[in-house]
Amino acid sequence: MEFLKDLFLYPGFLFGFVLGGLLEGFKRKLKARMQLRKGPPVTQPFYDLSKLLLKNITKPYRISSFTYLLIPFVPTAALLVGLLIMPYPFYQEKSSFSFDLILIFYLTELPLLSQIIFGYFSNSPYGMIGAARAGQMFFYYNGVFIMVITTLCLLEGPPYSFCLKSIAEAWDPLDVLIKILTIPFFVFSVLAKLKLNPFSIPDAEAEILKGPLTEASGVALALFKLNYLLELAIFGSLFAFFYLPVLKTSPTIGLILILLGAFFLFFIFALVENATARLRLSQFSALYLKFLIPLATLILVITWVFKNW
Amino acid sequence: MVKLIGWLLTNLFKKPLTIEFKGKSLKAVRGTYRGYPTHRGERCAACRLCIYVCPSDAIRIEGSLFIINKCKCTACKDCADACPFGAMQFIPRLIGTAISKNEYMEITEIKLVKCENCGEPMPKPELLLGRLLGKPPKTIPPYLKLCPKCRRQFFKPT
């Protein structure tokens, strides 16, 4: 009973869904206001989802409907588990999970993998191009993300355990400096993970329609959108855990800090999305190979040297 | 780049340039907006004149159901002009987005009476009389309560 409450109410489904939807709506509203538009209401993602649930499924010819619905459903379950293994206030005291960052990293990759599989499975040329692009991008930004995670988990000192809770509790002056240095890398890798504007290469609108999700419709598309909202909630709160003293204060203030951090991250995203245009795949890989991955590695080495002297 | 970000941030505190859609309220458009047809089942005689005149095939009758497809309707008002009983009316009501296709289908039931002898559905006699006399009738003669076939059987012309 207690577990079901966790799974469906507070750190689980409802919390992730509402937070993700509000973040997406907030981002769209901010983006519109920066372009002097009025923008949709903040609750627009929920309207979209509820409307999609009522729509008919139009699927390509000769494709099994079981697989069509299973592919988007698997990452939904994975992301729910991903929410459960984050040390949210009011939840982390009673939880028996170990808040493993590697597990969170792995579970948040599943939506993208499912989209790639869906793109190839749906037999659509747009889907295949989108899936191929997503598959190529995957290696670059995850390199940076792994560097950021590794740098942060060096902060706690040996034995290194990749535990999110101990990263969130590391607040020495040197730790703060290193954390601030890793913020741009985190933002860039999450931008690419969420396929936001300078890196919206896999689902480039007006170019390859909706990328891997071109053939998704009805409940399947609703599930993909739900996955996206849950991902937004996870990355927003991950930002707060990394860079704000969430677990150092009382649980209520910690929760408020998580929300503030998440909304601040999406403010940055709205700014970056408006200020940049979509890159080509070659420009993207050059940016990551020439600048971001070497710099992230440099910070990792510097951190290791400082921590072991 | 820095200049652009500066513009974006200052834009946040400006008023949006969006101009509101003028036809948001019905009052603003009442003078020019004709609206969409609605059907009144109790005045319909199922004569199918509206189906005959409709240029866009938006109306059809299935059994006793009268169906208007608002997706096809061009609001030309030919049906309302042709209807002898005033069963088609135009109401200036705005229609917006809908969740399903059925929301654009207006389905009403045609209220027909049954012949007293054989039970065959037929239009209301007071409708026909009203059309004939120009005013609603006080009493309805008994032969009008029968369908045309039965009428010929019982009241043979001498």
Same domain, B145 and B77: no
Dump pLDDT digits (tens) for A129-140: 888 888 888 888
B44 within domain boundaries: yes
Taking residues A83-106, report their average pLDDT.
Answer: 83
CA distances from A235 to A10, A41, A109, A262, A269 (A): 17, 22, 12, 8, 12
Dump pLDDT digits (tens) for A60-76: 888 888 888 888 899 99
> CA-CA distance, A282 to A279, in Å (whole number)?
8
B80 within domain boundaries: yes
Same domain, B45 and B103: yes
Mark which of B92, B111, B130 sits at the end of a domain. B111
> CA-CA distance, A204 to A212, in Å (whole number)?
10
Instruction: Tell me whether residues B16 and A271 touch, CB distance under 8 A.
Output: no
Residues of B in contact with A275 (CB under 8 A): 1, 4-5, 8
Share of chain A above pLDDT 90, in %: 15
Residues of B in contact with A28 (CB under 8 A): none
Task: Say yes or no: A57 contacts chain B, CB-CB below 8 A.
Answer: no
Task: Say yes or no: A53 contacts chain B, CB-CB below 8 A.
Answer: no
Asked if the ipTM is above 0.90, the reply is no
B15 within domain boundaries: no
Residues of B in contact with A37 (CB under 8 A): 16-18
> CA-CA distance, A274 to A276, in Å (whole number)?
6
Residues of A in contact with B99 (CB under 8 A): 51, 54
B125 within domain boundaries: yes
pLDDT of residue A216: 84
pLDDT of residue B29: 62
If one counts the domains in chain B, the total is 2
Same domain, B40 and B100: yes
Mark which of B90, B111, B132 sits at the end of a domain. B111
> Tens place of pLDDT for every residue, chain B, 158 residues?
888 888 888 888 888 888 776 655 656 666 677 778 888 888 888 888 899 999 999 898 888 888 988 888 888 888 888 888 888 888 877 666 677 777 788 888 888 888 888 888 888 888 888 888 888 778 888 778 888 888 888 777 66
Instruction: Tell me whether residues A54 and B1 touch, CB distance under 8 A.
Output: no
Instruction: Tell me whether residues A271 and B17 touch, CB distance under 8 A.
Output: no
B56 within domain boundaries: yes
Query: Poorest-confidence range of A177-186, A294-303, B56-65, B132-141?
Result: B132-141
Task: Say yes or no: A272 contacts chain B, CB-CB below 8 A.
Answer: no
Task: Say yes or no: A271 contacts chain B, CB-CB below 8 A.
Answer: yes
Instruction: From A215, A174, A230, select the one nearest A22 (Cα to Cα).
Output: A230
pLDDT of residue A249: 83
Which of A34, A55, A56, A272 should be substituted to probe chain B, the one whose Cβ sees the most B Cβ atoms within 10 Å?
A: A34
Dump pLDDT digits (tens) for A214-235: 888 888 889 999 999 999 999 9
Task: Say yes or no: A35 contacts chain B, CB-CB below 8 A.
Answer: yes
| Pure H helices in chain A | 2-8, 13-34, 44-54, 65-84, 101-121, 125-154, 164-168, 173-193, 218-243, 251-275, 281-286, 293-308
Partner-chain residue, chosen from B14, B17, B99, that has the shortest CB–CB distance to A51:
B99
Same domain, B107 and B117: no
Query: Poorest-confidence range of A10-14, A15-19, B42-46, B95-99?
Result: B95-99
pLDDT of residue A212: 84
pLDDT band at A264, cuts 50/70/90?
very high
Instruction: Tell me whether residues A275 and B5 touch, CB distance under 8 A.
Output: yes
> CA-CA distance, A156 to A222, in Å (whole number)?
40
B62 within domain boundaries: yes
Same domain, B38 and B106: yes
Across the strands, what pairs with B107? B67
Domain with B62 in it: what CATH number? 3.30.70.3270
Same domain, B42 and B95: yes
Residue A293 has pLDDT above 80, yes or no: yes
Dump pLDDT digits (tens) for A111-159: 889 988 888 888 888 888 888 888 888 888 888 898 888 888 888 777 7
CA angle (B115, B119, B121) in 5-degree steps: 65
Task: Say yes or no: A248 contacts chain B, CB-CB below 8 A.
Answer: no
Same domain, B64 and B124: no
Instruction: Tell me whether residues A33 and B18 touch, CB distance under 8 A.
Output: no
pLDDT of residue B25: 60
Chain A: closest CA distance from residue B28 (Å)? 22
Partner-chain residue, chosen from B14, B99, B100, that has the shortest CB–CB distance to A36:
B14
CA angle (B126, B128, B130) in 5-degree steps: 65
Residue B122's domain spans which residues? 113-158
Same domain, B51 and B106: yes
Residues of chain B in Cβ contact (below 8 Å) with chain A: 1, 4-5, 8-9, 11-12, 14, 16-18, 99-100
B149 within domain boundaries: yes
Cβ–Cβ under 8 Å, residues A201 and A137: yes
Same domain, B98 and B143: no
- What is the Rg, in whole angstroms, of the alpha carbon atoms belonging to chain B? 25
Same domain, B83 and B134: no
Same domain, B43 and B98: yes
pLDDT of residue B23: 56
Q: CB contacts < 8 Å between A and B, how many?
A: 32
Residues of B in contact with A267 (CB under 8 A): none
Scan for tokens 């999305």, then name that residue: A273
Instruction: Tell me whether residues B11 and A35 touch, CB distance under 8 A.
Output: yes
Same domain, B41 and B107: yes
B133 within domain boundaries: yes
pLDDT of residue B148: 81
Dump pLDDT digits (tens) for A23-44: 999 999 999 988 888 889 999 9
Mark which of B94, B111, B128 sits at the end of a domain. B111
